[in-house]
A and B are shown apart, each in its own frame.
Chain A
Amino acid sequence: MTPATTTEHTAAGTAHRRVEGRDKVTGAARYAAEIPLAGLAHGWLVGSTVARGRVRSVETAPVLAMPGVLTVLHHGNTARVTTDYVTVLGTSPDPTAAVFQHDQVQHMGWPVALVVAETPEQAREGAEALVVHYDEEPHDTAFSGDRADAYPLDSMGQPAVTDKGETEAELAASAVVVDACYTTPENHHNAMEPHAATVRWDGGRLDVIDSNQSAAWIQSELANMFSLDPQSVRVRSEHVGGAFGGKGVRAHQVAAALAARALGRPVRVAMTRRQMFALIGYRSPTAQRIRLGADADGRLRALQHDSLNQTSTVHEHVEASAGVSRVGYDAAAHRTAQRVVRLDVPTPTWMRAPGEAPGSFALESAMDELAAECGIDPIELRMRNEPERGPVSGLPFGSRRLPDCFREGARRFGWADRDPRPGVRRDGRRLLGTGTAAASFLAMAMPATAAVTAEADGTFTVRIGAADVGTGARTALTLIAAEALRTAPDRVRMRIGDSDFGPAWGAAGSMGTRSWAWAITDAVAALRERLAGGAGIPPEGVTARSDTSGSVFGLAPRERRAYGAQFAEVAVDPGTGEVRVRRLLGIFAAGRIVNPLTARSQLTGGMIWGISMALHEEAVRDPVSGGHVGADLAGYHVAAHADIPAVEADWVDDPDPEDPVGIKGVGEIGVVGVAAAVANAVWHATGVRHRHLPLRPDRVLTAPPAA
């Protein structure tokens, strides 16, 4: 079927409340640490207090003598697990999750022990009392843009370096050149639900109730680590309290599985908020340099984007920030490079809009600088450099309605009335400004399997290894299944979050709902064929299955992306340096919108992440200890209600013709471009460019005055 198909039930495309919403507002929805099990013991992780070295000894005896303490696991007494395997993403695993395998400490907070006790209070006190001796070694956690030991690194099929045309010659021939460095700090996911797993060994089968963004991934990783066949591992995650890229296989699941096996009883391990800062990954700080060369009319001749991020000594991760410059604007010459530097820090990982969030801050800030240099409206500048094909790849685009997003956004925001001069608007003592930026994000699909059952009572049951981490996937998939089945949504039972439902892509890369929807519509098509004969439905129902591995990889190569235009209005207090966002508007072309109610929440949620990134979020690492200063929600401020103004998201019609349902994905694009739009608005308010995030009051106060 196609998006245009008319059916007697048009569930998809209209606003629906979340199908699990009632459970969430009444407290009935249970998360990973909330499933009761008989005989449950509680584990508490112990992190290292040095950033690098070796564990010399663990003084277990006094802790084992404490009331209720059952065991203390550490590298000296823990069974070996396998770390030599290839993950479902085709990469080597981050060995950080394989806890207690050796005596080496590779970053501050490295898990060195697990204290297990009858109650959480006993486990916590044991963990706090445990004395660990270290042979400390010198560490290096100092990230900066001029690290001589940085090296280029490919990432997930993206080359480290691209080079098209003669960048230096084009820059030399340019009438206007912008050459600037931008930095973004270490950011942390901070899902509201801390990582937790409740684990038992059930007759040789590992049964894991967990908080993650893909039960199938965790199943696969744990099966590899514990040398089990995948069917001997079951992972369930019915409700997940936020993920944002940080909920993969981590120390808690592995430690709980090891302890449950050692003790022969179920064990729960929940991380503390502070432990999450060391153990779940984070967005690396970046140092980026952009060079733009243009003719006087703003037409780009050269676009260069170099990005550096940190990784750990045990695993490589690229924050692919230069990727935005490979697809953003047309130029005769393009040069991009992504490099990493290895430090004694935890391995960074994907975090909502990986690459695009920091990369768009640099590129879209630089474009605003170029617009000002050329005396051209920032939107007009972008329109003049709109590419017809992938600027680096040469591939045709899928639908690319970026200009329509800017036109609609400009109309609604009142952009036409904008005085381009900086530093000339006041509201009392505050300076006012507006700014804009483009957004785009990859729009892809990944393989999934699904089963759809026609039940004898006329209802339908869908089983798919999807994860609803707050995206509204469960509801969107219900609507999609109902539309495909030509039935009402309340006749569809959507079962997700269980690895027993078969392999499926996770809630990641803005590809979750699209990938799962594809599998569901395929399974429904097969079911409808089976039912076409008109025979009655037996008591056990009729089930059809699908596997989209063949179809999702069968698409011809294209630059497939979702787009958006972000508009911000800020007020800057020159007395305190405080920046407040007064208005934020995003207009998106992000595929067919399945459920406007929850899709809008996803988009505005991403935009709020953008405000938080622009103004607040920054994890500070102390170079002396190698650990964080204030690793909690007071030291690391995420936007609170008082920080967030009226944020509005809307969209232009943009069904993806290559997707069976028309979806592109809305989970991450909302973040992209917001920090640049805010920084550009601060320039418009004050006349001062800010190239380092977050836009802290001290930075605003101490910035040199506008030239």
Chain B
Amino acid sequence: MAPPVHSEITLTVNGEEHTLLVDHRTTLLDALRERLDLTGTKKGCDQGQCGACTVLLDGRRAVSCLQLAVAAEGRTVTTVEGLADGDRLHPVQQAFLDLDGFQCGYCTPGQICSAVAVIEEHAAGWPSAVTADVRPEAGPPELTAEEIRERMSGNLCRCGAHVQIVRSVARAAGAEEAAV
């Protein structure tokens, strides 16, 4: 008998539980886009190099193209569609909209999901490659433009919206002065 090629999984996506029978080859990205019709999460390279498919997986950012759907069994996913509170945009979304932190909009959901996580990671005291003092007792570094650029570098933008994206992240983090 041929081995099974499908499995049933349960995912909690944007607060809603979904039970799906998925092909074992299906990535989390394709499960979101093709099975749950959540096309806000974008496919830019399908091999973990561009960040367009970034989602929050159990609250931490992850590229959904490098994750098989079966491996996400039982996990909680937040996509760009799940960030706003009803009609009220998430502060990161609002900042991107107000400061023109995007052009074509295709890398935008990934940038926004990444930015939400960046702000939380920074607040939790996580250092980055450009953090000068990485001792735990040093506390979070100032969220400068350099820190934001480093932390957001896994998300490529081809239109060249980098300047406006960094400004948007800074505004959403309440760090506009540090990031000038």
Contacts and interface: CB of A to CB of B under 8 A. Distances in A.
Contacts of B163: 604, 608, 644, 646-647
26 contacts: A21-B97, A24-B108, A25-B89, A25-B105, A26-B83, A26-B89, A27-B38, A27-B109, A28-B40, A31-B39, A33-B43, A125-B25, A191-B104, A192-B42, A192-B106, A193-B106, A241-B107, A242-B106, A270-B43, A273-B47, A604-B163, A608-B162, A633-B45, A639-B162, A644-B163, A647-B162
A242 B162 contact: no
A89 B40 CA distance: 35
A272 B45 CA distance: 7
A632 interface: yes
Contacts of A646: 145, 163
Measured as residues with beta carbon below 8 angstroms from the partner, the interface class of chain B is 35 or more
Given A601-B100, A641-B165, A241 B160 contact: no
B11 interface: no
Interface in B142-164: 145, 148-150, 152-164
Interface of B: 5, 23, 25-26, 30, 33-34, 37-47, 49-50, 52, 79-81, 83-84, 89, 93-94, 96-98, 100, 102-109, 112, 145, 148-150, 152-166
Nearest to B102: A24
B34 A605 contact: no
B158 A190 contact: yes
Interface residues of A, number: 65
Closest 10 CB pairs of A and B: A27-B40, A605-B160, A241-B106, A470-B104, A24-B105, A608-B160, A470-B103, A34-B39, A27-B80, A633-B49
A604 B158 contact: no
Contact of B103 (A27, A471, A638, A642): A471
A23 B81 CA distance: 10
Contacts of A638: 156, 158
Contacts of B45: 273, 632-633
Given A30-B39, A194-B43, A641 B148 contact: yes
A205 B98 CA distance: 41
B149 A641 contact: yes
Contact of B93 (A18, A26, A34): A26
Question: Main SS of chain B's interface residues?
Answer: loop
Interface in A622-646: 632-634, 638-642, 644, 646
A36 interface: yes
Contacts of A270: 43
Nearest to A190: B158
B25 A605 contact: no
B156 A640 contact: yes
Nearest to A119: B23
Contacts of A597: 100
A630 to B, nearest CB: 11
Contacts of B159: 192, 242, 470, 601, 605
B15 to A, nearest CB: 15
Interface in A19-74: 20-31, 33-34, 36, 67
A411 interface: no
A337 interface: no
B102, B105, B106, B145: residue with the most chain A Cβ atoms closer than 10 Å: B105
Contacts of A641: 148-150, 152-153, 155, 157, 162, 165-166
Contacts of A190: 158
